[in-house]
Structure 1
Amino acid sequence: MIDINQFNKLRARSFNDQKALLKKLAKGQTVLCKTCGKAISLNVAVKEGEKASAQCPTGCTHIELDVA
Structure 2
Amino acid sequence: MGDFSKINSSSTESFNKQKQLIKQLLSGKSIKCDVCGKPLHALLPANPKKDPVGHIRCDKGCTDIELEMD
With the length of structure 1 as denominator, give the TM-score of the two structures.
0.89
Q: How many residues get paired?
A: 67
1:54 counterpart residue number? 56
Amino acid at match of 2:26: A
Q: Which runs of 5+ in 2 are unaligned?
A: none
1:15 counterpart residue number? 15
Secondary structure at the residue paired with 2:62?
coil
Task: Output the aligned Cα RMSD.
Answer: 1.4
1:29 counterpart residue number? 29
With the length of structure 2 as denominator, give the TM-score of the two structures.
0.86
Counterpart Cα distance in 2 of 1:50 and 1:8: 28
Counterpart Cα distance in 2 of 1:38 and 1:3: 38
Contact 1:44 1:53 in 2 (8 A): yes
Contact 1:46 1:52 in 2 (8 A): no
Counterpart Cα distance in 2 of 1:12 and 1:58: 26
